[in-house]
Amino acid sequence: MSSFRRPGSSRTVIVLATLGSVAIGTAVAFLTLPARSQSDVPTPPAQAAVPVTATRVIRRDVPLTLTGLGTVQASQTVNVRTRVDGTLQDVTFREGQHVKAGDVLARLDPRLAEAALAQARASKAKDAAQLRSAQADLSRSLALASKDFASKQQLDQQQATVDQLKATIDADQAAIDSAATNLDYMTITAPTSGRMGIRQADAGNVVHPSDILPIGVLATLKPVAVLFTLPEKNLFAMQAAMRAGPVPITATDESGAVLGTGRVTVIDNRIDPTTATLRLKAEFPNDDERLWPGAFVHVTATVSTLKNALTVPDAAVQRGPDGLYAWVVDGDGMAQMRPIETGATEGDLTVVASGLADGDEVVTAGQYRLRPRVHVAVSRPGDTPVAPRKGTSGQRVVTETMGVVSQDTSQGQSSPQGQGVSQNKDTP
């Protein structure tokens, strides 16, 4: 009897045998392999520290100041003019010359004034002679009247003549004084000390008191004045400061260069309602004449001083949706966000009223990369960056700065690496 075999049974047996062999081999390999320690399991790389610049808070005395924009003015300005009509005979000052009070600046032709003075004196002399004659006549009439040889009417007329001539002599003296004054006006002198400007009239010109242009302008520059404005809200602070003593003030140009220091002298008696500003005046010695009339200057008046205040650089103060804050580096080298309240500012420093304490280290650069509890690599202002060290043969030196690692091998090859804390590594 012939045997009957179903199709495909041989192939099934072969497949099952193969799968069994693979399973047995896998089990044997797993059992025979040595156990791996926990240290052999790869760990994720540590988070790189964020490079930042930081500095410690500082306690110092901070002056409380008010700032404004001002205009320099001469403390005294005199338009040198003639007081009488005349021909300009001589201009004795030089343009830009420093003059003293009483110095001769110009002279007018004095001949007409001298003639007028002589005429007034002659008129007085004539009237004085007539007065003497009238007084003699009156004396004789009085003698005759005592003997009833002269009437009372005659005496009264002679007395009136004497009184009239006395009045005429007084008028003559006034004319003499006027003529003498006009003669003095022929010489124009400096009423105060100062610096002369550009000459506006030359010798030979006929000048009048009503002329539009003066002969010259005399300006007193030592001391000099500065008129400036402040918001009306600063009125009480300035008043209190001036009651306490002289208020120092500094004038600077647009670049910040100091042009002079002085003191506030007066507060105007009204506030400008159109601008809500208050006008003030300050005086500067201006010995070096760096403050020039007409120039615009920035002024800073110190009204008080905040003693032993906690200050940070302006760059450390950040503004967020909840207000002002600063990044602080804690003792573990991690960044923390601290809400703060600020006060006055001076230069590039800000007074911190609350939120920081002595010894805190605040971040001044690199804040945009920070988040709370992130590690930071701190550098301070003035630190020198670390330069790569040269390695010996068979060694490579790895220098990491700002999160970038460069490798320097003996063959001069280099390759970029990941980010991390600034460090130097010697790798065999």
- Higher pLDDT, residue 9 or 388: 9
Domain 110-185 has CATH 1.25.40: no
The Cα 364–Cα 55 span in angstroms is: 7
CA distances from 250 to 67, 157, 277, 306 (A): 9, 77, 20, 18
Question: Average pLDDT of the chain?
Answer: 82
Q: Contact 123/205 with Cβ under 8 angstroms?
A: no
What pLDDT sits at residue 392? 36
> What is 216-306's CATH number?
2.40.30.170
Within the chain, all domains assigned CATH 2.40.30.170 are found at 216-306
Orientation of helix 111-145 relative to helix 152-185, angle to 10°: 160
Evaluate if residue 398 carries a pLDDT over 50: no
CATH of domain 308-379: 2.40.420.20
- The confidence score (pLDDT) of residue 103 equals 96
Query: Is the pLDDT assigned to residue 214 strictly greater than 90?
Result: yes
- Report d(CA 394, CA 409) in Å as an integer: 8
What residue ranges of the chain are covered by domains with CATH 1.10.287? 110-185
**Count of Cβ atoms closer than 10 Å to residue 160 Cβ:** 12
- Could you report the per-residue pLDDT of 268-318, keeping only the tens digit for each? 999 999 999 999 999 999 999 999 999 999 999 999 989 999 999 999 999
Q: How far is CA 335 from CA 261, 364, 370, in A?
A: 43, 12, 7
Across the range 123-134, mean pLDDT stands at: 92
Lowest mean pLDDT, pick from 29-43, 141-155, 248-262, 321-335:
29-43
- Which tens digit of pLDDT belongs to each residue from 72-121? 999 999 999 999 999 999 999 999 999 999 999 999 999 999 999 999 99
Tell me where in the chain the CATH 2.40.420.20 domain(s) lie.
Answer: 308-379
